[in-house]
Structures are given as structure tokens and as C-alpha cells.
Structure 1
Amino acid sequence: MVSAIATAQVPVLDLVRVPSFSSLLESLASSNIAWAIHDGIWLLKREEGGNVRDTVSRGSLVPGRETIASTCWKAGLRASTLRAVDLKASLLGVVSVGGLIATATQAALSPRGPGTCDRNMCERCCNITTSIPYVVCGCHAMRHRCTASGKTWGASLVGVGIASAAFHGSYGSFREWGRRMDFWTISAASNLMTRALFPCVPASVTAAGMLATPFKPFLVSFVNSTAMELKFLAAARRNPKLRGPQRLHAVCCLLGLGAFALEDWKPDLPLVHSAWHLLSSTAVATINHLLADVEEEERCKQARNAQQRPQLVLQMQPLLP
């Protein structure tokens, strides 16, 4: 009976074996606990001057393994490397998105192409020369206009003349950008013209027109020019002094539109663009008469308001306690 019980207990003893002392030391030495104990002992052995009492180097108890400090340093290095990689990826992503936006914006810019004028040196010189009247009109407006918006419009006309001359004198890859600057300055000048003709227009409307200029310059110029034509026609009906300039303005505008359409229809005809320059600059010069009338109206309105203020004060005095 006893032998049977002893025989039955043998497999149980085989399954549950107590580890030996040497195996415990080996597992302890190969674990992280041994690392911590060894580093603590090594730090305790340092003298105040920084020398080690024995010749046992740090980490020698566990050969083939790194110290905790070096492990932490390498972990920090790996973390910084990952951060640098993430930063590089983020920058590349931003650059890629910026490039996509720039490409889409470039595709949406208007106009496109170098244009059909300036086929020879003679035509190029004529187009540059006929750009000078815009500068003259701008200088005249800056000198004779009384309001800040009128003077700003005059300065924009000077920019129109300079951009036109730069476009007609450009070559190669810059020519397309020169043509864009020509259209954009005309559109911006039309926005400032509307600002000067209609002082009550909110600044947000002018800002919206400026933002739309790089993408739809012809549309912006058309809307502003239409508003100006209606204003000029109404002012000429009210003020007989403006009828002569308004007729000249209307004739030059119609002939200028005809020259513009003829240039698109027959691009081989010479000096059509130069004729358009002269007609449009003459039409722009007549706008000074309209601006003078608008400024006169503003002065009369301010004078009436100044006269009404004392009367309002006298009327309000009996009501005051």
C-alpha cells in the first residue's frame, strides 16, 4: 500500500520541480533586476572624487548586455529620430498640399497665353508708345482730383500704363505674366474708379473685386465699366456741362470695343492694338469730368449738412431741460 502511494507520487514530484540555486542566479543575472542592482552597486562604489574603488567596470556583472543609461540614451535617440522623421513627413505633406494649391491657382489664373499682338518690332514700339497716354491721364487725375479715392485711381492709371509698356516690351516666358499684369492692373483700376465714383460703396465690395481680379479680370472690368457708364449717362442728363464729354466718351468706348473685337477676329491686322490704346485712353481721360462732378456733389452735400446742423441745434434747445 505504501509502495503504491510512493509510486503514484513520483509523477507529481516530476511535474513540480524546485529550481536549483544556480538556475535562480542565472535567471536573475539575465533579468532587468540584475541590471538595476548592478548599476546601484556601481554607483555606491564611486568615490567623492569620481574614481571607482575596484577595477570592475560598470556592466561587467552582466557581460554582453548594455547599461540602463546607454539603453535610455539609445531609446531617446530613436525617439528623436522618429520625431525628425515625423517632422520631415509633415513638412513634405505641407509642401505637397501647397504645391497642389499653387497648381490649381495657376490653372485658374486668367488670361492665358502670350497674346496675338507685337508680331514685329515696329508694332511693339507703337504699342509701347501708345501706353504713355495712360500715365498722362493718371498724373492729371492725381494732380486735379480732390478726394483720396480719386487720387488713388489716378495712381492706378499710372500703373496701368507701366504694366502695358512692360507687357509689350516683354519676351519669352515672362510675356504671359506680363499680359496677366496688364489685365490685372486694368481690373484693379476699374475697382478703384468705382470706389471714387460711388463714395457710399462699402469697402467689402471693392475688396471682393480685388480678390476676383486674378481669376476674372475681364468680368470685373466689365461690371465696373457698366456701372460707370450708367453713372456718366445719368450725370450728363442732369448736368449739361457733361454732355459733351459723355458723347466723346461713348464714341471712344464703342470704337474701342470694335477695335478689341477686330483684334480677336483678325489678329494679323497691324496696329489695331495701338488704336485700341488711343481710344481707351481718351475714354479714360473723359472720366475726370465725371469725377469732378461727383466731387462737386459731395462738397454741396457737406455744405448743406453744415448749414442744417445749427438749425437742428436751435430746434433742439427748447426740448432741453
Structure 2
Amino acid sequence: MTPETALKPSTSRALNGVHGVHLMPHSPFSFQEIKQGDFNLSCYGAFNFRGDPRLNVQKVWQQRPACLRPINCCLNGDRSLAERVVNVLTSLPFIFLGINAPRKNLSCKLYANSLIGVGVASSLYHASRGKLKKYLRWADYTMIATATVCLSRALRNENPKLLMAASALCLPVQPLMVSAVHTGLMEVAFAKRAFQDPDLRMAHNVHKMSSLLGAALFIADDTFPETPFLHAGWHLAAAVGVGTCNKLLE
């Protein structure tokens, strides 16, 4: 039986005279059939009469807050073969920096290996195409965030355990936020060390200039996606900044 045939004309006339009964000319609920396998489910409006827990969980998951959603990856780069090649080539310095980074303890080794991971993830992202590129972009951002966490731990072993645990939990879904927090901790540690050690002041000045240039290029790359080679310039500026950070671990 369907909603259209549920109330026949004779039944409607009979009910129309009953006190307290008011028949609507049109039902406020829409009718829709959803086929699942060999069964036809009748759904009225937005109500789920079956009470399928899987559908309820899926609805809740789709309405989760933005803080629990992965980053919305920008896929504007690599518009030409030349830009793709340049972006891959400018990702390789991070592998070189990771290989030559100090490895005097476990924290330093983890940071050095994470730098190699940054170069590999960035190279794979820029060399990829299609749907795979979206997932590799997420891996690229996540690997960058991992490197900042490892550097923060290598510079300051006294970091609160709660901060490190929260960073590990947020890493897969909010890598940019994790990168910002631990980059800030690194900048504070670098400034303090440079103030105490005159030999680090030159490296710190180069680091500040490269960081400002890298931030400007990062914003410009997102603001002017049609402009080629901005992302490659950000790679080079970031590589210079990372190279100066290695001075802190020597």
C-alpha cells in the first residue's frame, strides 16, 4: 500500500464529516523508495522509520565539527609539466637536510628521518595525478607537522606530556594547527639560544628572513593559484629555514 492509495475517495468523504478530523489536501511528507538489495524501504520525509543504527552513525559522522575533519587540500598547483618538475626538484633538499641532520640521540634521529619523510611525501605529491593527489597532499601536510613535532621534542625534552599527546591525536586531522603550535615553540627556543650564544645569531637572522619570505610565498601561493613557481619558491625558503634549525641540534 502506498501513501497515494492509503486513503480512498470513499474513505475520505466518510472521515471528512467526523468531528475533530481535518484532512489535508496534500501530505506534508514526501514519499521516496530506496532500494537496498532485494528490499524496498519506504521513507517519509526526513524520518528513518527503520531506525537503522548504521544510517544514524553515518549522519552523526557527516555532521561532525570542523576540528574533527581532515584538511581541505588545495590542488591548484602543478598546472604544467615544467611546474610539476620544478616542484619535485625543490622537494629534494629536504631529503638532503634529513640525511645530514645531527643524530646524536633518539629525538634527533626521529627528526632527521622525519625530514627525509617530508621530502619523499612532497615529491610523491607533486609527481602524482588524479584522485591519488588529494591523499598525498594530506600525507604531505601530515609529514610536515610530524617534522615540527620531532624538532620541538629534540630542542626541548621538557615539553609537557599532555601537549605531545594532544599533538599526536590532532596530527591526522589538523596537521596545520599542530605545525603552527610546534613551529612557535621552535621559534621561541631558537631566539633564546641565539640571544645566549653569539655564534647562532647569524643563523638566526637567516632563519628569520627565510621564515618571513616562506610565509609570504605560502600565502601568495594560496591567494594567487594561477601564478606559477610560487610553491617552488616556498620549498626553497622553507629548506633554508630548516637548514638553519639544524644548527641548534649540533
- On whether the aligned pair clears a TM of 0.5, the verdict is yes
Aligned-residue sequence identity (percent) comes to 32
- Aligned pairs, how many? 199
- Compute the displacement of 1:95 (Å): 5.3
Q: Larger relative CO (CA 8 A, sep 6+): 1 or 2?
A: 2
1:280 aligned partner: 238
2:9 aligned partner: none
Query: What TM-score do the two structures reach when normalised by structure 1?
Result: 0.58
Deviation per CA, 1:40-78: give whole Å up to 9, x if none: xxxxxxxxxxxxxxxxxxxxxxxxxxxxxxxxxxxxxxx
Q: 1:158 to 1:240 in 2, by over 3 A?
A: same
1:110 aligned partner: 70
Q: 1:188 to 1:100 in 2, by over 3 A?
A: farther
Is residue 181 of structure 2 the alignment partner of residue 223 of structure 1? Answer: yes
Q: 2:110 is matched by which residue type in structure 1?
A: T
- Compute the displacement of 1:94 (Å): 6.9
2:30 aligned partner: none
Query: What TM-score do the two structures reach when normalised by structure 2?
Result: 0.73
1:256 aligned partner: 214
Deviation per CA, 1:266-302: give whole Å up to 9, x if none: 111111100100110110111111122xxxxxxxxxx
Q: 1:270 is matched by which residue type in structure 2?
A: P
Q: 1:199 is matched by which residue type in structure 2?
A: N
1:139 aligned partner: 99
2:114 aligned partner: 156
Q: 1:133 is matched by which residue type in structure 2?
A: P
Superposition pairs of residues 1-12 of structure 1, within 5 angstroms = none
Deviation per CA, 1:209-239: give whole Å up to 9, x if none: 0211222221211111111111111111100
Is residue 82 of structure 2 the alignment partner of residue 119 of structure 1? Answer: no
Instruction: Work out which of the residue numbers 175, 179, 194 in structure 1 matches 2:137.
Output: 179
Structure 1 stretch displaced more, 112-121 or 180-189: 112-121
Q: 1:189 to 1:127 in 2, by over 3 A?
A: same
- Compute the displacement of 1:241 (Å): 0.8
2:150 aligned partner: 192
1:209 aligned partner: 167
- Compute the displacement of 1:189 (Å): 1.1
Unaligned residue ranges in structure 1 (runs of 5+): 1-91, 293-321
- Equivalent residue of 2:226, what SS? coil
Q: 2:146 is matched by which residue type in structure 1?
A: A
1:130 aligned partner: 90
Instruction: Name the CA distance, whole Å, in 2 between partners of 1:248 and 1:230.
Output: 15
Larger radius of gyration: 1
Instruction: Name the CA distance, whole Å, in 2 between partners of 1:133 and 1:286.
Output: 13
- Compute the displacement of 1:207 (Å): 2.3
1:237 aligned partner: 195
Q: 2:180 is matched by which residue type in structure 1?
A: F
- Equivalent residue of 1:288, what SS? helix
Q: 2:195 is matched by which residue type in structure 1?
A: R
Q: 1:151 is matched by which residue type in structure 2?
A: K
Q: Is the 8 A contact 1:112 1:176 kept in 2?
A: no
Query: More strand by proportion, 1 or 2?
Result: 2
CA RMSD of superposed structures (Å): 2.1
